[in-house]
Amino acid sequence: MLPPVIVWFRRDLRLEDHPALAAAAATGRPLIPLLIEETDQPEAETNGAAARWARHQAVTSLAAALEQQGLRLLLRRGSAAAVLDEVIAASGADTVLWNRRYTPGGVACDRAIKAALTERGLTVHSFKATLLFEPWEITTRAGGPFRVFTPFWRACQAAPLPDRPLPAPAVLVPFPLPLESEALAEWGWLPTAPDWAGGLRAAWSPGSARTRLATFLDSGLADYATGRDQLGRAGTSRLSPALAWGELSPRTLFHAIRDAAPTGDGPDRFLAELGWREFCAHLLFQAPDLAEQPLRPAFAAFPWRDDPAGLVAWQRGETGYPVVDAGMRELWTTGWMHNRARMVTASFLVKDLLISWRQGAAWFAETLVDADPASNPASWQWVAGCGADAAPFFRIFNPTRQGETFDPDGAYVRRWCPELAALPDRWLHQPSAAPAAVLRQAGVRLGQTYPLPIVEHDTARRRALAAMEKCHGEAAVRGL
Protein backbone atom coordinates (compact mmCIF):
# COMPACT_ATOMS: atom_id res chain seq x y z
CA MET A 1 0.00 0.00 0.00
CA LEU A 2 1.27 3.45 -0.89
CA PRO A 3 1.86 5.79 2.07
CA PRO A 4 -1.25 7.86 2.82
CA VAL A 5 -1.63 11.62 2.55
CA ILE A 6 -2.84 13.60 5.56
CA VAL A 7 -5.20 16.50 4.77
CA TRP A 8 -5.38 18.79 7.78
CA PHE A 9 -8.73 20.64 7.95
CA ARG A 10 -9.01 23.92 9.87
CA ARG A 11 -11.40 26.77 8.93
CA ASP A 12 -12.05 25.14 5.55
CA LEU A 13 -14.75 22.62 6.41
CA ARG A 14 -15.88 21.63 2.91
CA LEU A 15 -15.04 19.39 -0.01
CA GLU A 16 -15.57 21.90 -2.82
CA ASP A 17 -12.83 24.44 -3.59
CA HIS A 18 -10.47 22.81 -1.14
CA PRO A 19 -7.04 22.94 -2.85
CA ALA A 20 -5.31 20.76 -0.25
CA LEU A 21 -7.95 18.05 -0.62
CA ALA A 22 -7.88 18.32 -4.41
CA ALA A 23 -4.09 17.95 -4.44
CA ALA A 24 -4.29 14.93 -2.15
CA ALA A 25 -6.98 13.30 -4.31
CA ALA A 26 -4.87 13.87 -7.42
CA THR A 27 -2.14 11.63 -6.00
CA GLY A 28 -4.50 8.66 -6.12
CA ARG A 29 -3.18 7.61 -2.72
CA PRO A 30 -5.18 6.85 0.44
CA LEU A 31 -6.27 9.92 2.36
CA ILE A 32 -6.51 10.67 6.06
CA PRO A 33 -8.75 13.71 6.66
CA LEU A 34 -7.68 15.12 10.03
CA LEU A 35 -9.17 17.81 12.25
CA ILE A 36 -7.33 18.91 15.37
CA GLU A 37 -8.75 20.70 18.37
CA GLU A 38 -5.59 22.67 19.06
CA THR A 39 -4.94 23.20 22.74
CA ASP A 40 -1.88 25.41 22.33
CA GLN A 41 -3.29 28.34 20.32
CA PRO A 42 -3.21 31.89 21.78
CA GLU A 43 -6.32 32.89 23.69
CA ALA A 44 -7.16 35.59 21.13
CA GLU A 45 -7.49 32.86 18.49
CA THR A 46 -9.59 30.39 20.44
CA ASN A 47 -13.30 30.11 19.76
CA GLY A 48 -16.05 31.59 21.89
CA ALA A 49 -19.09 29.64 23.01
CA ALA A 50 -21.33 30.48 20.04
CA ALA A 51 -18.49 29.91 17.58
CA ARG A 52 -17.83 26.48 19.10
CA TRP A 53 -21.49 25.62 18.57
CA ALA A 54 -21.27 26.75 14.92
CA ARG A 55 -18.03 24.87 14.39
CA HIS A 56 -19.63 21.71 15.75
CA GLN A 57 -22.36 21.97 13.11
CA ALA A 58 -19.85 22.60 10.32
CA VAL A 59 -17.61 19.72 11.39
CA THR A 60 -20.64 17.41 11.57
CA SER A 61 -21.60 18.36 8.00
CA LEU A 62 -18.04 17.84 6.78
CA ALA A 63 -17.85 14.42 8.43
CA ALA A 64 -21.12 13.41 6.75
CA ALA A 65 -19.86 14.56 3.33
CA LEU A 66 -16.64 12.59 3.78
CA GLU A 67 -18.56 9.50 4.87
CA GLN A 68 -20.50 9.58 1.61
CA GLN A 69 -17.10 9.15 -0.09
CA GLY A 70 -16.14 6.33 2.25
CA LEU A 71 -13.79 8.38 4.44
CA ARG A 72 -13.89 8.94 8.17
CA LEU A 73 -12.89 12.33 9.57
CA LEU A 74 -10.16 11.71 12.14
CA LEU A 75 -10.61 13.85 15.25
CA ARG A 76 -7.77 14.46 17.69
CA ARG A 77 -7.24 16.99 20.48
CA GLY A 78 -3.89 18.36 21.62
CA SER A 79 -0.85 20.21 20.34
CA ALA A 80 -1.00 20.25 16.54
CA ALA A 81 2.64 19.19 16.19
CA ALA A 82 2.22 16.31 18.63
CA VAL A 83 -1.02 15.11 17.04
CA LEU A 84 0.51 15.13 13.57
CA ASP A 85 3.50 13.17 14.84
CA GLU A 86 1.17 10.57 16.34
CA VAL A 87 -0.90 10.18 13.18
CA ILE A 88 2.21 10.01 10.97
CA ALA A 89 3.73 7.33 13.18
CA ALA A 90 0.52 5.28 13.27
CA SER A 91 -0.22 5.51 9.54
CA GLY A 92 3.14 5.77 7.81
CA ALA A 93 2.02 8.95 6.03
CA ASP A 94 4.79 10.79 4.23
CA THR A 95 2.80 13.82 3.00
CA VAL A 96 0.86 16.48 4.91
CA LEU A 97 -1.27 19.07 3.10
CA TRP A 98 -3.27 22.00 4.43
CA ASN A 99 -4.78 25.32 3.40
CA ARG A 100 -3.00 28.35 4.78
CA ARG A 101 -4.18 30.41 7.71
CA TYR A 102 -3.11 33.97 8.49
CA THR A 103 -3.59 34.54 12.21
CA PRO A 104 -0.42 35.14 14.24
CA GLY A 105 -0.69 31.88 16.16
CA GLY A 106 -1.67 29.92 13.09
CA VAL A 107 1.21 31.26 11.01
CA ALA A 108 3.75 30.52 13.76
CA CYS A 109 2.39 27.01 14.29
CA ASP A 110 2.31 26.14 10.60
CA ARG A 111 5.81 27.43 9.94
CA ALA A 112 7.25 25.42 12.81
CA ILE A 113 5.44 22.23 11.77
CA LYS A 114 6.39 22.60 8.13
CA ALA A 115 10.05 23.11 9.02
CA ALA A 116 10.11 20.15 11.41
CA LEU A 117 8.37 17.71 9.07
CA THR A 118 10.38 18.80 6.04
CA GLU A 119 13.61 18.27 7.96
CA ARG A 120 12.47 14.70 8.65
CA GLY A 121 11.99 14.10 4.92
CA LEU A 122 8.20 14.44 4.71
CA THR A 123 6.47 16.36 1.94
CA VAL A 124 4.51 19.35 3.22
CA HIS A 125 2.53 21.76 1.06
CA SER A 126 0.10 24.57 1.89
CA PHE A 127 -2.42 26.28 -0.38
CA LYS A 128 -4.46 29.47 -0.71
CA ALA A 129 -8.10 28.73 0.06
CA THR A 130 -9.48 31.05 2.74
CA LEU A 131 -8.71 34.36 1.00
CA LEU A 132 -9.07 35.75 -2.49
CA PHE A 133 -5.53 37.16 -2.42
CA GLU A 134 -2.48 36.47 -0.32
CA PRO A 135 -1.49 39.34 2.01
CA TRP A 136 1.80 39.68 0.11
CA GLU A 137 0.06 39.85 -3.27
CA ILE A 138 -1.78 43.14 -2.65
CA THR A 139 0.59 45.98 -1.79
CA THR A 140 0.96 49.70 -2.32
CA ARG A 141 3.19 51.01 -5.10
CA ALA A 142 5.93 51.29 -2.49
CA GLY A 143 5.50 47.63 -1.66
CA GLY A 144 3.94 48.17 1.76
CA PRO A 145 0.58 47.20 3.22
CA PHE A 146 -2.56 49.25 2.66
CA ARG A 147 -4.09 51.05 5.63
CA VAL A 148 -7.13 52.45 3.79
CA PHE A 149 -9.80 50.19 2.39
CA THR A 150 -10.79 51.97 -0.84
CA PRO A 151 -7.33 51.91 -2.47
CA PHE A 152 -6.85 48.38 -1.15
CA TRP A 153 -10.02 47.19 -2.86
CA ARG A 154 -9.14 49.04 -6.05
CA ALA A 155 -5.81 47.19 -6.07
CA CYS A 156 -7.68 43.92 -5.60
CA GLN A 157 -10.01 44.74 -8.48
CA ALA A 158 -7.04 45.59 -10.69
CA ALA A 159 -5.32 42.29 -9.89
CA PRO A 160 -5.96 39.14 -11.95
CA LEU A 161 -9.30 37.59 -11.05
CA PRO A 162 -9.20 34.92 -8.35
CA ASP A 163 -9.24 31.40 -9.80
CA ARG A 164 -12.62 29.82 -10.22
CA PRO A 165 -13.55 27.43 -7.41
CA LEU A 166 -12.44 23.83 -7.67
CA PRO A 167 -15.09 21.11 -7.81
CA ALA A 168 -15.23 18.55 -5.04
CA PRO A 169 -12.96 15.59 -5.91
CA ALA A 170 -14.87 12.88 -7.73
CA VAL A 171 -12.93 10.09 -6.03
CA LEU A 172 -11.33 9.98 -2.61
CA VAL A 173 -9.41 6.87 -1.60
CA PRO A 174 -9.89 5.97 2.08
CA PHE A 175 -7.05 4.81 4.30
CA PRO A 176 -7.97 1.19 5.06
CA LEU A 177 -6.32 0.76 8.45
CA PRO A 178 -8.22 1.81 11.60
CA LEU A 179 -6.97 4.89 13.42
CA GLU A 180 -8.25 5.88 16.81
CA SER A 181 -10.50 8.96 16.64
CA GLU A 182 -11.99 10.99 19.41
CA ALA A 183 -15.72 11.72 19.53
CA LEU A 184 -16.78 15.24 18.60
CA ALA A 185 -19.44 15.19 21.33
CA GLU A 186 -16.71 14.77 23.94
CA TRP A 187 -15.04 18.04 23.03
CA GLY A 188 -17.71 20.07 24.79
CA TRP A 189 -18.52 22.44 21.96
CA LEU A 190 -22.27 22.12 22.59
CA PRO A 191 -23.80 23.63 25.74
CA THR A 192 -25.50 21.20 28.10
CA ALA A 193 -26.14 22.69 31.53
CA PRO A 194 -27.80 24.96 30.73
CA ASP A 195 -28.51 24.41 27.05
CA TRP A 196 -28.68 28.02 25.88
CA ALA A 197 -28.43 27.18 22.16
CA GLY A 198 -32.13 26.87 21.35
CA GLY A 199 -32.14 30.21 19.54
CA LEU A 200 -29.07 29.22 17.56
CA ARG A 201 -30.66 25.95 16.47
CA ALA A 202 -33.78 27.83 15.38
CA ALA A 203 -31.74 30.34 13.38
CA TRP A 204 -29.19 28.07 11.68
CA SER A 205 -29.66 24.74 9.92
CA PRO A 206 -26.51 22.59 9.58
CA GLY A 207 -25.38 22.15 6.01
CA SER A 208 -27.64 24.89 4.67
CA ALA A 209 -24.97 27.27 3.35
CA ARG A 210 -25.58 26.35 -0.27
CA THR A 211 -29.32 26.86 0.14
CA ARG A 212 -28.78 30.28 1.74
CA LEU A 213 -26.48 31.26 -1.12
CA ALA A 214 -29.03 30.20 -3.74
CA THR A 215 -31.80 32.11 -1.95
CA PHE A 216 -29.67 35.24 -1.72
CA LEU A 217 -28.68 35.12 -5.38
CA ASP A 218 -32.32 34.69 -6.37
CA SER A 219 -34.05 37.19 -4.11
CA GLY A 220 -31.52 39.32 -2.21
CA LEU A 221 -28.57 40.29 -4.36
CA ALA A 222 -30.29 42.73 -6.71
CA ASP A 223 -31.48 44.95 -3.83
CA TYR A 224 -28.52 44.33 -1.56
CA ALA A 225 -27.07 47.85 -1.83
CA THR A 226 -30.14 49.34 -0.13
CA GLY A 227 -31.65 46.31 1.57
CA ARG A 228 -28.51 45.57 3.59
CA ASP A 229 -29.16 48.56 5.85
CA GLN A 230 -32.83 47.88 6.57
CA LEU A 231 -32.99 46.22 9.97
CA GLY A 232 -36.50 44.85 9.70
CA ARG A 233 -36.12 42.97 6.44
CA ALA A 234 -34.05 40.03 5.22
CA GLY A 235 -31.75 42.17 3.10
CA THR A 236 -28.43 40.52 3.93
CA SER A 237 -27.01 37.19 2.81
CA ARG A 238 -26.51 35.62 6.27
CA LEU A 239 -23.53 33.81 4.75
CA SER A 240 -20.92 35.09 7.22
CA PRO A 241 -20.98 31.90 9.37
CA ALA A 242 -20.41 29.80 6.25
CA LEU A 243 -17.41 31.96 5.37
CA ALA A 244 -16.11 31.98 8.94
CA TRP A 245 -15.96 28.17 9.07
CA GLY A 246 -15.17 27.57 5.44
CA GLU A 247 -18.39 25.83 4.48
CA LEU A 248 -18.21 28.14 1.46
CA SER A 249 -14.98 29.56 0.09
CA PRO A 250 -14.55 33.25 -0.75
CA ARG A 251 -13.82 32.25 -4.35
CA THR A 252 -17.14 30.42 -4.52
CA LEU A 253 -18.95 33.53 -3.33
CA PHE A 254 -16.92 35.88 -5.51
CA HIS A 255 -17.68 34.04 -8.73
CA ALA A 256 -21.28 33.23 -7.79
CA ILE A 257 -21.95 36.96 -7.38
CA ARG A 258 -20.19 37.87 -10.62
CA ASP A 259 -21.98 35.12 -12.53
CA ALA A 260 -25.39 36.14 -11.21
CA ALA A 261 -24.81 39.72 -12.40
CA PRO A 262 -28.22 41.29 -11.75
CA THR A 263 -28.69 44.93 -12.61
CA GLY A 264 -28.09 47.59 -9.98
CA ASP A 265 -25.39 48.17 -7.38
CA GLY A 266 -26.05 45.03 -5.35
CA PRO A 267 -23.21 42.87 -6.73
CA ASP A 268 -20.56 45.59 -6.38
CA ARG A 269 -21.69 46.37 -2.85
CA PHE A 270 -21.60 42.72 -1.82
CA LEU A 271 -18.20 42.16 -3.38
CA ALA A 272 -16.92 45.20 -1.48
CA GLU A 273 -18.10 43.56 1.74
CA LEU A 274 -16.18 40.45 0.73
CA GLY A 275 -13.28 42.82 0.14
CA TRP A 276 -13.61 44.20 3.68
CA ARG A 277 -13.22 40.66 5.03
CA GLU A 278 -10.10 40.35 2.88
CA PHE A 279 -8.78 43.71 4.10
CA CYS A 280 -9.21 42.69 7.75
CA ALA A 281 -7.36 39.41 7.21
CA HIS A 282 -4.48 41.25 5.56
CA LEU A 283 -4.38 43.75 8.44
CA LEU A 284 -4.10 40.98 11.03
CA PHE A 285 -1.35 39.26 9.05
CA GLN A 286 0.61 42.52 8.98
CA ALA A 287 -0.30 43.67 12.52
CA PRO A 288 -0.34 40.55 14.71
CA ASP A 289 -1.37 42.57 17.80
CA LEU A 290 -4.53 43.87 16.11
CA ALA A 291 -6.76 42.42 18.83
CA GLU A 292 -4.87 44.19 21.62
CA GLN A 293 -3.33 47.40 20.28
CA PRO A 294 -4.90 50.24 18.27
CA LEU A 295 -3.48 50.65 14.80
CA ARG A 296 -3.35 54.39 15.49
CA PRO A 297 -0.80 54.66 18.33
CA ALA A 298 -2.24 57.93 19.66
CA PHE A 299 -5.29 55.99 20.85
CA ALA A 300 -3.17 54.00 23.29
CA ALA A 301 -3.67 56.84 25.77
CA PHE A 302 -7.41 57.24 25.23
CA PRO A 303 -9.25 57.60 28.58
CA TRP A 304 -11.64 54.65 28.37
CA ARG A 305 -14.01 54.28 31.34
CA ASP A 306 -14.30 51.33 33.68
CA ASP A 307 -18.07 50.83 33.79
CA PRO A 308 -19.05 47.24 34.68
CA ALA A 309 -22.73 48.10 35.12
CA GLY A 310 -22.87 49.84 31.74
CA LEU A 311 -21.12 46.91 30.06
CA VAL A 312 -23.60 44.41 31.52
CA ALA A 313 -26.58 46.56 30.50
CA TRP A 314 -25.21 46.72 26.96
CA GLN A 315 -24.54 42.97 26.86
CA ARG A 316 -28.07 42.17 28.05
CA GLY A 317 -29.83 44.63 25.75
CA GLU A 318 -31.03 46.79 28.65
CA THR A 319 -29.65 50.22 27.73
CA GLY A 320 -33.00 51.97 27.29
CA TYR A 321 -32.25 52.61 23.59
CA PRO A 322 -34.50 50.23 21.63
CA VAL A 323 -32.39 49.74 18.50
CA VAL A 324 -29.31 49.03 20.62
CA ASP A 325 -31.21 46.62 22.84
CA ALA A 326 -32.81 44.88 19.87
CA GLY A 327 -29.40 44.28 18.32
CA MET A 328 -27.87 42.90 21.49
CA ARG A 329 -30.85 40.60 22.09
CA GLU A 330 -30.70 39.33 18.52
CA LEU A 331 -27.03 38.55 19.10
CA TRP A 332 -27.65 36.68 22.35
CA THR A 333 -30.55 34.69 20.92
CA THR A 334 -29.25 33.78 17.46
CA GLY A 335 -25.48 34.22 17.64
CA TRP A 336 -25.69 36.76 14.82
CA MET A 337 -26.52 40.42 14.40
CA HIS A 338 -27.49 42.54 11.41
CA ASN A 339 -24.51 44.54 10.13
CA ARG A 340 -26.17 47.92 10.69
CA ALA A 341 -27.02 46.90 14.23
CA ARG A 342 -23.41 45.84 14.79
CA MET A 343 -22.26 49.36 13.94
CA VAL A 344 -24.93 51.02 16.08
CA THR A 345 -24.34 48.83 19.13
CA ALA A 346 -20.57 49.17 18.82
CA SER A 347 -20.77 52.96 18.53
CA PHE A 348 -22.98 53.08 21.62
CA LEU A 349 -20.49 51.09 23.68
CA VAL A 350 -17.33 52.98 22.73
CA LYS A 351 -18.77 56.47 22.34
CA ASP A 352 -21.90 56.79 24.49
CA LEU A 353 -20.44 54.68 27.30
CA LEU A 354 -16.72 55.24 26.61
CA ILE A 355 -16.02 51.56 27.20
CA SER A 356 -13.01 50.22 25.33
CA TRP A 357 -13.50 48.57 21.96
CA ARG A 358 -11.52 45.62 23.33
CA GLN A 359 -14.36 44.73 25.70
CA GLY A 360 -16.88 44.94 22.88
CA ALA A 361 -14.71 42.78 20.63
CA ALA A 362 -14.35 40.22 23.42
CA TRP A 363 -18.14 39.98 23.84
CA PHE A 364 -18.71 39.61 20.11
CA ALA A 365 -16.00 36.94 19.97
CA GLU A 366 -17.87 35.01 22.66
CA THR A 367 -21.39 35.37 21.25
CA LEU A 368 -21.10 35.45 17.43
CA VAL A 369 -21.41 32.26 15.42
CA ASP A 370 -19.41 34.03 12.68
CA ALA A 371 -16.71 35.38 15.02
CA ASP A 372 -13.60 35.96 12.93
CA PRO A 373 -10.20 36.68 14.52
CA ALA A 374 -9.46 39.36 11.92
CA SER A 375 -12.80 40.97 11.02
CA ASN A 376 -13.93 41.27 14.64
CA PRO A 377 -11.07 43.39 16.06
CA ALA A 378 -10.53 45.29 12.81
CA SER A 379 -14.20 46.30 12.62
CA TRP A 380 -14.28 47.31 16.28
CA GLN A 381 -11.20 49.46 15.75
CA TRP A 382 -12.93 51.00 12.73
CA VAL A 383 -15.94 52.02 14.82
CA ALA A 384 -13.73 53.28 17.65
CA GLY A 385 -11.74 55.48 15.26
CA CYS A 386 -8.43 53.88 16.13
CA GLY A 387 -8.04 51.40 13.28
CA ALA A 388 -7.32 51.35 9.58
CA ASP A 389 -9.53 53.56 7.43
CA ALA A 390 -11.42 54.26 10.63
CA ALA A 391 -14.60 56.30 10.95
CA PRO A 392 -13.55 59.50 12.75
CA PHE A 393 -14.23 59.35 16.47
CA PHE A 394 -16.31 62.51 16.33
CA ARG A 395 -18.89 60.74 14.13
CA ILE A 396 -21.12 59.45 16.89
CA PHE A 397 -24.29 57.60 15.98
CA ASN A 398 -27.46 58.91 17.57
CA PRO A 399 -29.17 55.61 18.43
CA THR A 400 -32.65 57.09 18.24
CA ARG A 401 -32.10 58.48 14.75
CA GLN A 402 -30.44 55.26 13.63
CA GLY A 403 -33.55 53.35 14.67
CA GLU A 404 -35.89 55.80 12.98
CA THR A 405 -33.84 55.72 9.77
CA PHE A 406 -33.11 52.00 9.43
CA ASP A 407 -36.13 50.55 11.23
CA PRO A 408 -38.80 53.08 10.26
CA ASP A 409 -41.77 50.75 10.75
CA GLY A 410 -40.30 49.30 13.93
CA ALA A 411 -40.33 45.69 12.74
CA TYR A 412 -36.85 45.00 14.12
CA VAL A 413 -37.41 46.56 17.53
CA ARG A 414 -40.86 45.00 17.92
CA ARG A 415 -39.40 41.56 17.22
CA TRP A 416 -36.55 41.75 19.72
CA CYS A 417 -38.08 44.13 22.27
CA PRO A 418 -41.67 42.82 22.39
CA GLU A 419 -42.42 44.76 25.56
CA LEU A 420 -42.43 47.88 23.34
CA ALA A 421 -44.52 46.39 20.53
CA ALA A 422 -47.69 48.36 21.29
CA LEU A 423 -45.99 51.75 21.13
CA PRO A 424 -46.82 53.88 18.09
CA ASP A 425 -44.03 54.22 15.52
CA ARG A 426 -43.49 57.82 16.57
CA TRP A 427 -42.35 56.80 20.05
CA LEU A 428 -41.02 53.32 19.48
CA HIS A 429 -37.39 54.40 19.17
CA GLN A 430 -37.56 56.89 22.04
CA PRO A 431 -39.97 55.50 24.66
CA SER A 432 -38.43 57.69 27.38
CA ALA A 433 -39.75 60.74 25.50
CA ALA A 434 -43.27 59.37 25.03
CA PRO A 435 -46.19 60.98 26.89
CA ALA A 436 -47.31 59.14 30.00
CA ALA A 437 -50.72 58.40 28.46
CA VAL A 438 -49.10 56.77 25.41
CA LEU A 439 -46.92 54.62 27.63
CA ARG A 440 -49.90 53.54 29.75
CA GLN A 441 -51.94 52.63 26.71
CA ALA A 442 -49.03 50.55 25.34
CA GLY A 443 -48.47 48.82 28.68
CA VAL A 444 -44.94 50.19 29.02
CA ARG A 445 -43.67 51.06 32.50
CA LEU A 446 -40.27 52.66 32.16
CA GLY A 447 -37.84 51.37 34.72
CA GLN A 448 -39.98 48.25 35.19
CA THR A 449 -41.06 46.57 31.95
CA TYR A 450 -38.41 48.43 29.94
CA PRO A 451 -35.32 50.25 31.27
CA LEU A 452 -34.83 53.96 31.36
CA PRO A 453 -31.84 55.13 29.26
CA ILE A 454 -28.63 54.37 31.12
CA VAL A 455 -27.08 57.51 29.65
CA GLU A 456 -28.45 60.64 28.00
CA HIS A 457 -27.14 60.65 24.45
CA ASP A 458 -26.38 64.36 24.03
CA THR A 459 -24.55 64.40 27.36
CA ALA A 460 -22.65 61.25 26.40
CA ARG A 461 -21.71 62.76 23.06
CA ARG A 462 -20.23 65.84 24.69
CA ARG A 463 -18.32 63.62 27.14
CA ALA A 464 -16.92 61.55 24.27
CA LEU A 465 -15.77 64.62 22.36
CA ALA A 466 -14.15 66.01 25.51
CA ALA A 467 -12.27 62.74 25.98
CA MET A 468 -11.14 62.88 22.36
CA GLU A 469 -9.94 66.46 22.76
CA LYS A 470 -8.09 65.57 25.96
CA CYS A 471 -6.30 62.72 24.20
CA HIS A 472 -5.69 64.20 20.76
CA GLY A 473 -6.36 67.92 20.89
CA GLU A 474 -9.09 70.15 19.53
CA ALA A 475 -8.04 69.68 15.90
CA ALA A 476 -8.76 65.96 16.09
CA VAL A 477 -12.27 66.58 17.39
CA ARG A 478 -12.93 68.93 14.51
CA GLY A 479 -11.63 66.34 12.09
CA LEU A 480 -8.71 68.49 10.93
pLDDT, tens only, 455-474: 999 999 999 999 988 886 64
b/e per residue, 307-340, with b = 16+ CB within 10 A?
beebbebbbebbbbbbbbbbbbbbbbbbbbbbeb
Residues 8, 204, 314, 380: which is the catalytic one? 380
Give the mean pLDDT of 332-361.
Answer: 97
Give me the mean pLDDT over the 348-367 stretch: 98
Evaluate whether the domain defined by 132-164+209-286 bears CATH number 1.25.40.80: yes
Share of residues in the chain with pLDDT > 90 (%): 91
Give 308-319 pLDDT, tens digit per residue.
999 999 999 999
Supply the pLDDT for residue 88. 98
pLDDT at 43: 82
Say yes or no to pLDDT of 475 above 80: no
Cα–Cα distance, 247 to 245 (Å, whole number):
6
Residue ranges of the chain assigned to CATH 1.25.40.80: 132-164+209-286
Within the chain, all domains assigned CATH 3.40.50.620 are found at 5-130
| pLDDT band, residue 133 (cuts 50/70/90) | very high
User: Quick one: which H or E segment has residue 326?
Assistant: helix 322-334
Residue 99 bears catalytic tag: no
Active-site residue flag, 53 = no
Please list the helix, strand and coil fractions of the chain in percent, rounded to the nearest 5, in that order. 50, 5, 40
Strand duo 31-38 + 123-127: pairing: unpaired
Mean pLDDT of 66-70: 96
CATH number for the domain formed by residue range(s) 297-478: 1.10.579.10
Would you call 336 a catalytic residue per the annotation? no
What are the start and end residues of each CATH 1.10.579.10 domain in the chain?
A: 297-478
In the prediction, which pLDDT does 473 show?
62
pTM over 0.85: yes
What would be the CATH architecture of the domain defined by 5-130? Answer: 3-Layer(aba) Sandwich (3.40)
- CB under 8 Å to 189, separation ≥6 — which residues? 52, 53, 55, 56
Distances in whole angstroms, Cα of residue 119 to Cα of each of 85, 100, 114, 325, 403: 13, 20, 8, 55, 59
Q: Which of 98, 245, 357, 427 is catalytic?
A: 357
Cα 66 to chain centroid distance, Å, stands at: 26
Strand 31-38 versus strand 74-78 pairing type: parallel
Question: Can 427 be counted among the known catalytic residues?
Answer: no
Catalytic residue among 45, 137, 273, 469: 273
